Structure 1
Amino acid sequence: MRNVSMLAVTVMIMLLGFTAVLPLDAEGIRTRITGTVRIDPTRPDGETIGLRFNEAVGVLLPADTLFVQGIEFELRLPKAVQGSESSISWTVYSSVDPDPSGERLDFNGARIISQPLPARVSMVIQIPVVDRHELRSGPFVTVIPKLMRAGDFPLMFKLAPIGKGFGPSTESAEFRLTVRPVLTDEGGISVSCAFPEGAEPVPYSVYIDDKRVEDVAGPIVLRKGARVVRVSAEGYREEVVSLSVEAGAISKVSVNLVPDAPRLQFEAPTGSIISLNGVPVPSESFDELAIEPGEHTVVCRIGDYTITRKFVAVRGKTYRVIMSVELSIQAGP
């Protein structure tokens, strides 16, 4: 007798352990999955899948939900069901197990809401996935007042007949379900900086609309619209980039930092000899030569003709050294 009691206790513990992995309000669902949609913030138009009676569509949440505030279901009703909408129900389930796929027929899930179809050609429902959202019900949109967190996915949208006696045309009628993300009005900017080859990286500052960004390690979340990004680093020229931030998207800004050392550009006749601070300047450096800030002496020589000039170079400036020789012949009276 004692062995039998112990066996009963063991069986009970096993059953309790098995049911504990399912939601408390889970129910069995038998249906055919016609498709599964993974919500993608980069595809705001979503994905459309066809389904009939006793068929369903699965919904998976992306790993990155940074700009997603809700999920939208838009169901378009075929003409064959017009007039019998109240005999057909739509249901949304959460915590569907196992993941909905076309290879299975039996699932478990928690019913969120179930209602008859409205007497319209289409219906739109939205489900929030973040605490602070801007979803609101209206004449053409119904917001389900239940927050779906990451642990509540996958979801399932299912159609089922409430009564019997449907004609063949109604039973074979195909509905069109579009599942799409409801995005916030925010986007992001990702800033990266590259230093010249061989240069030691230095700290740099990022400003957006003249406000300094303290943390640039990840995406900078902003409301959509035109933005101006400014990057500055000691010893380098300041770089300014204008762009438009789009809702639900991250714009990448890649900046190649250029040293802000003064630069010289030379223009001189062929055969000229130019020296800077007593050091000859090779002709291949005439297009651009980086120099140190401060006072410099330039000597230009062509034949027996020599010109010497001094100047003070300032960071971030480009100086053009132009040597010209004029020959003027004038006739007298």
Structure 2
Amino acid sequence: MKKKVLLLQFIFLCIFFLFAEEVKLDELKIINIPNGSTAPQTFEIQPTGAFAVTYRNTPFIQGIEIEIKQNLKTLNSGICTDCIIFNELNQKPIADLLSYNATKIYGISLHNRKSVVLQIPVTEEHLLQESPFSKLLPYQKNNENNALLFRLHKITESNIVPDTTGIKKIGGTEPSKIISISVKPILKNQGGLSVNMKYPDVPNKVSITLNGRYAEIPASPEFLMLPVGDYQLIFNSDVYRSEMRTCKIDPGKITELNVTMRSIIPILNIHIPKEAQVFLDKEKIIDPTQEIRLSTGKHTIKVIIGNYEIMRQIIAEEGKTYNIEMKVEMEIEVTD
């Protein structure tokens, strides 16, 4: 007989929690969790209030943590409150809309509890674990609205005093917001990395090493998931110069690197006074302010300014940049 009763209770609970029902609310506060945010959002509501938490279903979020606090005045007021949690809302929650169809997934009594911490997984691949300080709820599949609805329900009001004005008072004072709520996302200890490449001409193959290991890193909006930390990237190619970048991966955030590859052809930059003339291999350079591409091998550069002439030779190598700078200075020495 006892087993039969327990079985009936189990069936009742299954029916109670697994079917959508109409949920009517007195008030509704909306909490939106921004991407990559780890900061808690704290607010207060009445014992009959409700709030909805919306989140984006990114690869980084694994759960939502809810802390419900009651102060001593609330605990001693005779009010007994419970909290019912719903998912699979029939539409995205709106503060002005106070009626929804949703599925009950959990209920907890706040009676004689100063604080309750709930961790609610939002992905089946979560790594959350039960602890002495929080209650881990079982994972329940949600719909595309990505919202959780929390409704507080006042069970007893032993010390509510009637008032001729028609306004209920608790302990002789007007109702106040006496339930404190804190909401924060629980992120994986991972972030994302994407690399946007730019090329001087037709794109050619570039190999990327990430902390010394070969890696394929997509361009945005795609990304590679990585553990949080510092990384060094080296870009190698047969037709471009090698490039090196460093970046930091933060939890729940996507880091984008923009890398412009440079041609392997040797480059000559010349910085000389305007009145000077410059010759490269006996050919006068018309506009010395523009970078000059060189062929590999030996080159002669001659600079003439007034009656002063200076000549230098360089051996151009692939992937190198050569800077020539000429300064004309006047020094004044004063002696006794």
One fold, TM greater than 0.5?
yes
Report the 3-state secondary structure (helix = DSSP H, G, I; strand = E; otherwise coil) of the residue aligned with 2:73.
Answer: helix
* Structure 2 match to 1:238: 242
* Structure 2 match to 1:212: 214
Tell me which of 20, 27, 46 is aligned to 1:33: 27
* Structure 1 match to 2:13: none
Letter in 1 for 2:66: F
Letter in 1 for 2:226: L
Report the 3-state secondary structure (helix = DSSP H, G, I; strand = E; otherwise coil) of the residue aligned with 1:80.
Answer: helix
Q: Which aligned pairs between 1:1-333 and structure 2 lie closer than 5 A?
A: 25-62=19-56, 64-83=57-76, 87-117=80-110, 119-151=112-144, 153-167=146-160, 168-169=169-170, 172-174=175-177, 175-196=179-200, 199-217=201-219, 218-265=222-269, 274-282=278-286, 284-285=287-288, 288-298=291-301, 311-319=314-322
Deviation at 1:242, TM superposition (A): 1.4
Flag the 1:119–1:261 CA change in 2: closer, same or farther, 3 A. farther
Q: Is the 8 A contact 1:51 1:176 kept in 2?
A: yes
- Count residues in correspondence: 299
Deviates more, 1:206-215 or 1:248-257: 206-215
* TM-score normalised to structure 2 length: 0.75
Flag the 1:300–1:101 CA change in 2: closer, same or farther, 3 A. closer
Report the 3-state secondary structure (helix = DSSP H, G, I; strand = E; otherwise coil) of the residue aligned with 1:33.
Answer: coil
Deviation sequence 1:274-330 (CA, Å, 0-9, x none) = 432332234x42785331223434456678998776653111223456899xxxxxx
Deviation at 1:249, TM superposition (A): 0.7
Q: Is the 8 A contact 1:80 1:169 kept in 2?
A: no
Deviation sequence 1:92-135 (CA, Å, 0-9, x none) = 11112344333333322221111211644322111111222221
| Cα distance in 2 for residues equivalent to 1:176 and 1:308 | 79
| Cα distance in 2 for residues equivalent to 1:66 and 1:247 | 11
| Cα distance in 2 for residues equivalent to 1:71 and 1:302 | 72
| Cα distance in 2 for residues equivalent to 1:105 and 1:286 | 69
Q: Is the 8 A contact 1:92 1:114 kept in 2?
A: yes
Deviation at 1:72, TM superposition (A): 1.3
Q: Is the 8 A contact 1:42 1:248 kept in 2?
A: yes
Flag the 1:85–1:251 CA change in 2: closer, same or farther, 3 A. farther
| Cα distance in 1 for residues equivalent to 2:176 and 2:93 | 22
| Cα distance in 1 for residues equivalent to 2:325 and 2:147 | 72
Deviation at 1:212, TM superposition (A): 2.3
Deviates more, 1:258-267 or 1:303-312: 303-312
| Cα distance in 2 for residues equivalent to 1:207 and 1:29 | 54
Letter in 2 for 1:94: N
Flag the 1:79–1:97 CA change in 2: closer, same or farther, 3 A. farther
Which blocks of at least 5 consecutive residues in structure 1 are unaligned? 1-22, 325-333
| Cα distance in 1 for residues equivalent to 2:90 and 2:324 | 76
| Cα distance in 2 for residues equivalent to 1:91 and 1:268 | 77
Report the 3-state secondary structure (helix = DSSP H, G, I; strand = E; otherwise coil) of the residue aligned with 1:81.
Answer: helix
| Cα distance in 1 for residues equivalent to 2:21 and 2:324 | 84
Backbone CA RMSD of aligned residues: 3.3
* TM-score normalised to structure 1 length: 0.76
